[in-house]
Structure 1
């Protein structure tokens, strides 16, 4: 998608996918794990520490915030706060059905 299609008036669903994992995640996350945020529901399993640190970004992306430092407004990344067993998530805007 392009910036024109990723910034709009309607809210988005947000899909978070683990794309990198090192060490031993306390919650057992592995590369490929996904969690979907629909605005009123969370579908999937996510460590509470990772979710807590990610919620501002999730809500901002859900409600069409534009991040000037991103080349692609449709996807962002987010690092888990556990510095000894880091995970990296991709955070995607997904159209609501």
Structure 2
């Protein structure tokens, strides 16, 4: 039972940033769509929703960055990454002559 609960919590740690990134993407899309839909109308001067757009960028970057970092560190732990991303080991000391 304890393993089931811990796996559920681990899934929530990935679902919450994923939903955050989706909401951020939708905010970006809505801000751009509203701007371009008003752009064709001559009677209305188009106003860009900067606050909604920047909030969407922030939410998308935070969610995608968390998931990307989680995948990167998991792959680093399992040794799936390229040699330049592997953890650096200290050099052994030089033998004294």
Normalising by structure 1, we get a TM-score of 0.21
Higher relative contact order (CA 8 A, sep 6+): 1
Larger radius of gyration: 2
Larger proportion of strand: 1
Larger proportion of helix: 2
Normalising by structure 2, we get a TM-score of 0.21
